[in-house]
Structure 1
Amino acid sequence: MLPTLREALMQQLNSESLTALLKTRPSNKLEIWEDLKIISFTRSIVAVYSTCMLVVLLRVQLNIIGGYIYLDNAAVGKNGTTVLAPPDVQQQYLSSIQHLLGDGLTELITVIKQAVQKILGSVSLKHSLSLLDLEQKLKEIRDLVEQHKSSSWINNDGSKSLLCHYMMPDEETPLAVQACGLSPRDVTTIKLLNETRDMLESPDFSTVLNTCLNRGFSRLLDNMAEFFRPTEQDLQRGSSMNSLSSVSLPLAKIIPIINGQIHSVCSETPSHFVQDLLMMEQVKDFAANVYEAFSTPQQLEK
């Protein structure tokens, strides 16, 4: 799914066309550079958010399905038992991930682009930034995105998780909207979707996703750090080069660096970015808890 995500991002945030335009030496060169600045940062930031959401959402979905399959297998041979999650239901349920790759992604791009514009719009292309400065700018952008009304990181009661809105369609628009009547398959799928939504709105999910985002943005900065290494001249001057603030680059030079990060974040299999997220203890523990909850008959009867 990462190639699909990458293609969608590169299509909606097409920095390559702007780069090609700059090579023609147009009269509005500065204006194009300003657009490129916003699109490049937006693209990589959306890549981190959407990849983290994709990983954790799929993990939840597969463990919910896994729990149902376990119960179905345990019930084989028992008279009068109905299959809880037949293959067609599993397929229909898992296809709901398309919301995150479609409408959810488009809305996420809009919100992040607005935040990038607010934080970086007034920053001159000649202005130099260190890695520490970049980290601070990313934090400010994240704060805006995660406080956005669409993102609803925390509900009034302090329980609701971030970005559920982008991962699943609203309850008012379930898959049954197109149909006059509901088939048994549709009823089961809607039940699965509602259970997933409840899981995404839990404080535990919020904590896990936030931990993944912290790791994701940390890795993004690590990837960019190699471009902020001191030059021979810096080393000869004997200045302290261990500090994150010791090397600065003009924003115009940072733009192509961050623009290319999408290929690292949404890389082909095996994706080190995704593997890093999946190996996190919080993600593994949460996935195990989801599986346990949905492989217990008493839990499903609630």
Structure 2
Amino acid sequence: MHFLESRLAENLDLMHLTERLIQGKGQPNTLTMAEKLELWDRLKILSFTKMVSSLWAMNMLSLYIRVQVNILGRHLYIDTARGLGSSHLLDEAELIDKNDEQQFLACADYLSNYGLLALIHNTEAATMEVLKGKQLKDFFNVAVLHDTIIHILENLMIMGSPHHWVGYLMPEDAGVYKFVAASSSSGSDLSNATKFELLMGETRAVLSSAEFANIVDISLRRLVNGVLEDLSIHCGENNLATGMPLARLLPRIAHMGQLLLTESNRNRYIQIIRSIPEVELFFTLLYSSTPAS
């Protein structure tokens, strides 16, 4: 996730906004009141955008990689089991090619390389909608901040067509998805599809399932709680418990967006996801299930 961290930092660098505000404070005549308000408003929107984008990306990429590993592991196990005790069967089995395997696992970089800009754009739009009318002088405590972040995430997830967010994580390939969907309902012949296409189609089907949507919701909410615990420590528990002006909170929110993806913090948050019973049950069932073929 180091590449994801650097890409988020590159696309959500708030330094230019803070530098202009600091310059305006030191040199009062350099910025008009309207310009100051505009800069503060952008800083407000982008600070939340940075934190929520980082939180969403880390959570979803962690889950996505586990989906990949479980699907691939199951296929490799089945391929091997088919050939046990018979080298003839093993030779004839449609084994996963190493190239297909590598291509499939490499798709975990799709979010960082291609999907991130769309994620940031839509997170910003969701943030603008939720923060509409919120003033810099408004007091935010843990409960208000929690509800604000959850509301942004909810808006992000329902934006656009159903399961549109899958497009942030993996390339659109409607043809393969139709192949897989058709096979599960009508037993269509998939012999012309490559193993890579079948793996991708199966992954898309899993990500689009109601069961996956459920663990996404659970894990995002659990991560928000973890982030707020850390933010309370950074702010001083009494400050965030009793509430503090949004203007004072913004730098800490933006900073949390950076901390989420640093290695030491990332491992802690990933462990939070792994410790959720519903998540573990989902992946146990995913590995043990047999896809239609």
Shorter-chain TM-score: what band? Answer: 0.7 to 0.9
User: Root-mean-square deviation (CA), in Å?
Assistant: 2.4
CA contact (8 A) 1:85 1:188 kept: yes
The answer as to whether partners of 1:61 and 1:94 remain within 8 angstroms in 2 is yes
Shift of 1:33: 1.9
Aligned residue for 2:168?
166
Q: Which residue number in structure 1 is paired with residue 188 of structure 2?
A: none
Matches for 1:210-289 after TM superposition, within 5 Å: 210-226=217-233, 227-230=235-238, 247-268=242-263, 271-289=267-285
Question: C-alpha distance in 2, partners of 1:22/1:190?
Answer: 50
d(CA) in 2 for partners of 1:185 and 1:53?
31
Shift of 1:199: 1.1
SS at match of 2:194: helix
Do 1:126 and 1:250's aligned partners in 2 also have CA atoms closer than 8 Å? Answer: yes
Shift of 1:263: 3.0
Q: Which residue of 2 aligns with 1:234?
A: none
User: Which whole-Å deviations, capped at 9, do the CAs of 1:241-296 have from their partners, x for residues lacking one?
Assistant: xxx7x511111101001001123321215610112112222222211212112xxx
Between the aligned partners of 2:202 and 2:242, the Cα distance in structure 1 is: 49
Cα separation, partners in 2 of 1:300 and 1:125, compared to 1, 3 Å? closer
CA 1:173/1:268 → structure 2, altered by over 3 Å: closer, same or farther? Answer: farther
| TM-score, normalised with respect to structure 1 | 0.80
1:89-114 CA-to-partner distances (Å, cap 9, x unmatched) read: 11111112222223322111111101
Q: Check whether the contact 1:264–1:273 (CA below 8 A) recurs between aligned residues.
A: no
Q: 1:88 to 1:65 in 2, by over 3 A?
A: same
> Which whole-Å deviations, capped at 9, do the CAs of 1:105-128 have from their partners, x for residues lacking one?
211111110111122143221222
Distance verdict in 2 for CA 1:49–1:169, change over 3 Å = same
- 1:116-155 aligned at under 5 Å gives the runs 116-150=127-161, 152=162
Q: Which amino acid aligns with 2:62?
A: V
Q: Does 2:44 correspond to 1:45? A: no
The answer to whether the 8 Å contact 2:51/2:258 transfers is no
> 1: distance between equivalents of 2:106 and 2:175?
15
Aligned residues: 265
- 1:178 paired residue number: none
Identical positions, percent: 26
| Distance change (3 Å), C-alpha of 1:228 and 1:248 | farther
SS at match of 2:87: coil
Unaligned runs of 5+ in 1: 154-161, 175-183, 232-243, 294-298
Q: Secondary structure at the match of 1:24?
A: helix
Task: Measure the CA separation in 1 of the matches of 2:174 and 2:251.
Answer: 41
Counterpart of 1:158 in structure 2 is none
Q: 1:12 to 1:186 in 2, by over 3 A?
A: farther
Aligned to 1:188: 195
TM (norm. structure 2) is 0.82
Q: Which has the higher helix share?
A: 2
Return 5+ residue gaps in structure 2 as ranges: 25-29, 177-190
Tell me the SS of whatever aligns to 2:140: strand
Q: Give the deviation of 1:21 after TM superposition.
A: 2.9
